[in-house]
Amino acid sequence: MVADVRTERTPEGLYEIGRRPPFATYISEAWRRRGFAVRLAANRLVAGLLPNRLGVLWIVLKPLSMAIIYGTIFHFVISGPARPANFVPFLIVGVFVFEFFTGCFGGGARSVTGNSKLVQSLGFPRILLPVSVVAEQAMRIVPVMILLGILLLILGEPLTLSWALMIPLLVVMAVFNLGAAMVVARLSVHARDVQQFIPVVNRVLFYASGIFFNVDGALANYPVALTVAHLVPTYEFISVARDVLLDSYTAPVLAWAAAPVWAVAAIVFGTVFFWRAEARYGLGD
């Protein structure tokens, strides 16, 4: 374990590489430099879109194409109690909201290792790297949510005041995503193999979250499995989003209560877990 070495800051506010400042100082410095994370997120977003001919359209085309593919396939596969009412709106809400998590989770795993030159050159708070990933995904989710609203209106969902609850819901989900991103960011520094498991974890969560089927109907005869499914964090957020946006869906009370609990637990654990390895991040492999 790396020792907690206290060190003086330079006049520019940077820390010597290989040192871990006290937790309160670390968080304060990260907050003071939050603009760096936002600029890094914006630059990475633009750089990732410019080489593509369709540019910004890819932000919405990716989740939309996934919804079309899964909708076409599972429209003919899912039946009985596992098939939700209003299958298409149910599916696209699940796909679009889940895309927010996968972007943060996968990007978070690469946030430190993918910026090795920057990390080894300057002693800024490395927590800003997973923060920038979540900030980038938050920028991406805005046009995605606008498209989602348009699609739901086209599909006949009524526009209600409850739709406004998507804003605080996405904020709470962003907090959870950041906690998860920090955890996998540190684990990836210790073992790059972690990044190979991210797609596997995402796929498991995709099915466990009931993206294209009704969890309550599918697991009605398996109470233990149903309880476990109701405690999957991504299921909670997707379920609440469906409750907010869809007139035909009501989320379990547990989902409304558990979503903010997951967010608080993830951000507290993730922040401390990431900070404790701060001295490790600039040392290279």
pLDDT for residue 236 is more than 50: yes
Q: Quick one: average pLDDT of 239-266?
A: 94
**DSSP state, residue 52:** S
On whether residue 35 sits in a domain, the answer given is yes
pLDDT for 91: 93
pLDDT for 279: 83
On whether residue 132 sits in a domain, the answer given is yes
pLDDT for 7: 41
Residues 13-38 pLDDT 10s: 555 555 788 999 999 999 999 999 99
On whether residue 10 sits in a domain, the answer given is no
pTM: 0.88
Residues 65-112 pLDDT 10s: 878 887 777 777 777 778 888 899 999 999 999 999 999 999 999 999
Contact of 237 with 173, CB cutoff 8 Å: yes
Residue 145: which of 249, 241, 248 has the closest Cα? 241
On whether residue 14 sits in a domain, the answer given is no
On whether residue 1 sits in a domain, the answer given is no
On whether residue 112 sits in a domain, the answer given is yes
Exposure string for 132-158, b = 16+ CB within 10 A, e = fewer: bbbbbbbbbbeebbebbeebbeeeebe
pLDDT for 20: 81
pLDDT for 124: 84
Residues 195-235 pLDDT 10s: 889 999 999 999 999 998 999 888 888 889 888 889 999 99
Number of domains in the chain: 1
What domain range includes position 232?
A: 23-280
pLDDT for 14: 52
Residues 174-202 pLDDT 10s: 999 999 999 999 999 988 888 889 999 99
pLDDT for 282: 66
Which range has the top average pLDDT, 5-9, 157-161, 215-219?
157-161
pLDDT for 52: 58
d(CA 175, CA 181): 10
pLDDT for 77: 75
Whole-number Cα distances in Å, 284 to 16, 112, 182, 280, 281: 15, 10, 18, 8, 7
Contact of 268 with 179, CB cutoff 8 Å: yes
Residues 43-69 pLDDT 10s: 888 776 666 555 566 677 777 887 888
On whether residue 285 sits in a domain, the answer given is no
pLDDT for 71: 77
On whether residue 201 sits in a domain, the answer given is yes
Higher pLDDT: 279 or 232? It is 232
Single-letter code of the amino acid located at 240: V
